[in-house]
Amino acid sequence: GKGKNVNENSKNEQLEQFRVNDEGKQMTTNQGLKVSEDEFSLKAGERGPTLIEDFHFREKMTHFDHERIPERVVHARGYAAHGEFEVYESMKEYTKARFLQDPSVKTPVFVRFSTVAGSRGSAETVRDVRGFATKFYTEEGNYDLVGNNIPVFFIQDAIKFPDLVHALKPEPHNEIPQAATAHDTFWDFVANNPETAHMVMWHMSDRAIPRSFRMMEGFGVHTFRFVNHQGKARFVKFHWKPVLGVHSLVWDEAQKISGKDPDFHRRDLWESIESGNFPEYELGVQMIEEEDEFKFDFDVLDPTKLWPEEEVPVKIIGKMTLNRNVDNVFAETEQVAFHPGHVVPGIDFTNDPLLQGRLFSYTDTQLLRLGGPNFHELPINRPVCPFHNNQRDGFGRQTINKGKVSYHHNSLASNTPIPASEEEGGYVHYQEKIEGRKVRGRSESFKDHFSQARLFWNSMSNIEKAHILDAFRFELGKVKSKYVQQQVVDMFANVSLELSTVIADGIGATPPQGEVSESEVMKSSPALSQINTKKRP
């Protein structure tokens, strides 16, 4: 019946057609010619020059020379696994997405976890945001939830993303540091773009040094829309909650592990799955009625804000289990292409200006990274449902489309693909009413940068506060520019006088000029007494 065309094995069965077992086989060239010798190139005389007619040497060497593809411009270091997702009860009231209707349906998924800043070979336990990207292979097409382990983001508008990444990646003149926030350009960006305040609080917290991929939350960050069969829409935010709970390393451990086992997180994930100890995450949603859009003291379209769970509770709706490691990291983990714009009927976008820009960026980068317009044909990216359209040709095309007509609205062929109606599952964008002048700018409702950062700080226990203070003092302490350090100290006085004063004290900057004196703040800081090393670095 409806919803049963895809099961948890669908993706595995599809991948099976592409798996090759080379074991015990005779060696051939790519043309299938058996090879008689693979250690010596063809030469004119035993001590003579190599001959250009040695096609075996040429083919082997050429293929090797072309093995590398560009790493992802962000999230280059990642690790992935296969699994399945099941919804606990029908979400029909809220969304028509088919994979969220029937608890007996198991949808295959592929999840890639990542760090953001480091290159493909960088260490895994560094202080960084973690990517948490999930591809659901649903019977209505692929749905990608491309999230992070922190519920908010650094910036509000996608046009700043290249600037953000230029600031947090290694500095371009000397490519230092590899994967760390401990440098001038990162903090200079923070100080001059105060909307970063909330995310930076999370970044300096223990959330940025997770114990394991199995012990991290995931967040869609943006506000999306659920749309049901009646066409009624609601705002929605997505959450992954690890069944094992959220756990972090402490900084000292994180640093030592980086040296002793830079593969710590991938090893943990691989070994857990190999030993049948399958990581599980529950999917949660927060929903806000459209008519309540303006009832909050933040803008629901602002990705630097979360929806406090006390005000908008998280409804747990399903569970994902990761139960199978990849066969080949390049073919699967590296070639997978996630995209926040891969949606299914029942899930739609909002005007979050960060999300809107992401909708452009991912395909654009993948056209380069995966070498042309046919990367949807790569085994890991293929939907498990059939796909048909009039797109043709391009580098690496594998599909052999039949027939002479490849355009829509024609009279020569009766069997070319035609669009589906909404009832037949055709995707129809939510008909949001839009009115406005064409402007560059930011709504006034996006201008409060410190309230939620303060809320975060105030919600921390003393030991958590101590870890945050230590992190600021360590990371900001590495900054060479005294001017940048001072700007950061001044900026975070807007979050907490205690936070700002203790940072200033740790790095030799001038404490903020508040109503209470520095010494009073220092004396009354319970978090300060938890810090082991007073002066850093």
Q: Does 479 bind ligand HEM (CB under 6 A)?
A: no
Q: Which residue of the set 5, 7, 21, 75 is catalytic?
A: 75
Determine contact, residues 521/504, Cβ cutoff 8 Å.
no
C-alpha–C-alpha distance, residues 311 and 295, integer Å? 11
Q: Which residue is nearest to ligand HEM (CB)?
A: 131
71 SS3 class: coil
Residue with tokens 């700043």: 160
Q: Does 298 bind ligand HEM (CB under 6 A)?
A: no
Contact range with ligand HEM by CB under 6 A, out of 23-31, 141-149, 429-437, 507-515: 141-149
Determine contact, residues 8/108, Cβ cutoff 8 Å.
yes
Half-sphere exposure of 144 (CA within 13 A, CB side): 22
Q: Cα separations (Å) of 476 from 190, 309, 470, 480, 509?
A: 11, 31, 10, 9, 11
Determine contact, residues 261/215, Cβ cutoff 8 Å.
no
Q: Cα separations (Å) of 460 from 297, 453, 493, 522, 526?
A: 22, 11, 17, 18, 12
Angle, vertex CA 151, rays to CA 465 and CA 331, nearest 5: 120
> Measured from the CB of residue 104, what is the shortest distance to ligand HEM in angstroms?
30
Fill in the per-residue mask, 220 to 259: x = in contact with ligand HEM (CB under 6 A), - = not in contact: -x--------------------------------------
> Site residues for ligand HEM, window 57-86 (CB under 6 A)?
72-75, 78
> Measured from the CB of residue 365, what is the shortest distance to ligand HEM in angstroms?
4
Q: Which residue of the set 142, 148, 149, 381 is catalytic?
A: 148
Q: Which residue, 131 or 279, is less far from ligand HEM as judged by CB?
A: 131
Q: Pick the closest to residue 204 from 452, 449, 474, 462 (CA basis).
A: 474
> Measured from the CB of residue 223, what is the shortest distance to ligand HEM in angstroms?
11
Q: Does 100 bind ligand HEM (CB under 6 A)?
A: no
Q: Does 199 bind ligand HEM (CB under 6 A)?
A: no
Q: Does 131 bind ligand HEM (CB under 6 A)?
A: yes
Q: Does 146 bind ligand HEM (CB under 6 A)?
A: yes
Q: Which residue, 331 or 522, is less far from ligand HEM as judged by CB?
A: 331
Q: Does 354 bind ligand HEM (CB under 6 A)?
A: yes
Query: Which one among 229, 315, 369, 382 touches ligand HEM, defined by CB under 6 A?
Result: 369
Q: Does 317 bind ligand HEM (CB under 6 A)?
A: no
Query: Which one among 194, 357, 425, 477 touches ligand HEM, defined by CB under 6 A?
Result: 357
Query: Dihedrals φ, ψ of 493, to 5°?
Result: -65, -25
Determine contact, residues 408/390, Cβ cutoff 8 Å.
yes
C-alpha–C-alpha distance, residues 63 and 308, integer Å? 53
Contact range with ligand HEM by CB under 6 A, out of 293-301, 312-320, 333-341, 454-462: 333-341
Q: Which two tokens stand for residue 109?
A: 């998924």
Residue ranges that bind ligand HEM, judged by CB under 6 A:
72-75, 78, 112, 114, 131, 133, 146-148, 153, 158, 161, 221, 336-338, 354, 357-358, 361-362, 365-366, 369
Active site residues: 75, 148
